Amino acid sequence: MKPFQKNQPLSEYSTFGIGGKARLFTSVDSIEELQKVLKYCHEYQVPFLVIGKGSNFLFDDQGFDGLVIQNKISFCKFREDGVEVGAWYSFSLLGSQTARKGFSGLEFASGIPGSVGGAVFMNAGACGSEVCNVIEEVVAIDPEGNLHHLKKGDLQFSYRWSCFHENRWVVAAASFRLTRSRDAREKQLSILEKRMKSQPYSEKSCGCVFRNPKEESAGALIERCGLKGAKRGGAEVSTLHANFIINTGGASAEDVRSLAEYVKQQVKEQKGIELEMELRSVVSS
């Protein structure tokens, strides 16, 4: 087990570029190493937070009073009927690689920021497809460091939700069952082109802030409420895609939270619809 680093700025591990310092920090490169760290946390009662590429986290301005574990388990093994991949592996890259090899099922992943572990955790989806449509098995580790192999039926997927939201188990790896298709690459490129044109990829953000309600997409609702360009400090509702909040420079976590609450309030008052946060907000401990 590597020595823990102290007082690491979490802003360096977030696509938002926001966050105070973690009291302790480490990274793990293997399933065995992750098990050891989690066993240590359990034995010595150390609060922990496991992160991937930091594309769906809003870290607190006060940091995290515990151990932040960056899960960097990264491998990719193709099979005849799919792929097995580590939790750190780029979900977007996986989408493009599988399509290039003539596999269909993960085209929608192309352009979605973050890791495979985060995508499984959130049951990430786009263009009518979700992780739950193609997942076969997940290798996970519980807070005591025990290893588990979970089948699709064990994961309790729903819209942007999985069992990992409640049990605090950590995704270490996942396998996806895919099908062969001559059109996979063309479909993947079309999805990527559309996403690049409609989302603020050059800005610091953490993707979509709100879940889509049943009535209408969150972005469309926010735009119809005239909230594009709304600001709180260094945080701004994107003028390209209204369900993104961007860090225009020097934004704090409080700026983002305040702006998100203002957006929720306005949508509720104007449209009678209660938006739910998709962005994961991390408190200091």
Beta partners for residue 141, in sequence order:
147, 170
Do residues 96 and 192 lie in contact, with contact meaning Cβ atoms separated by under 8 Å? Answer: yes
pLDDT in tens, 20-53: 999 999 999 999 999 999 999 999 999 999 999 9
Q: Where in the chain is the domain with CATH 3.30.465.10?
A: 76-184
The catalytic position among 208, 225, 232, 257 is 208
The catalytic position among 160, 185, 195, 257 is 160
Measured distance CA(42)–CA(279) in Å, rounded = 27
Domain at 202-282: CATH architecture: Alpha-Beta Complex (3.90)
Instruction: Give mean pLDDT, residues 153-161.
Output: 94
Measured distance CA(162)–CA(181) in Å, rounded = 28
Is pTM beyond 0.85 here?
yes
Burial 21-35 (b: 16+ CB within 10 A, else e): bbbbbbbbbebebbb
**pLDDT value, residue 19:** 96
Tokens at residue 40, please? Answer: 């240590």
Of all residues in the chain, the percent with pLDDT exceeding 70 is 99
The catalytic position among 107, 130, 236, 278 is 278
- 225 catalytic? Reply is no
> 76-184 has which fold?
3.30.465
Measured distance CA(235)–CA(281) in Å, rounded = 15
Q: Where in the chain is the domain with CATH 3.30.43.10?
A: 5-71
pLDDT in tens, 78-127: 999 999 999 999 999 999 999 999 999 999 999 998 999 999 999 999 88
pLDDT band at 282 (very low <50, low <70, confident <90, very high): confident
**In one letter, which amino acid is 3?**
P
Quick one: how far is CA 129 from the chain centroid?
Answer: 16
- 278 catalytic? Reply is yes
**pLDDT value, residue 256:** 98
> 5-71 has which fold?
3.30.43
- Rounded to the nearest 5°, which phi and psi values hold at 260? -60, -40
Instruction: Give mean pLDDT, residues 150-160.
Output: 94
- 132 catalytic? Reply is no
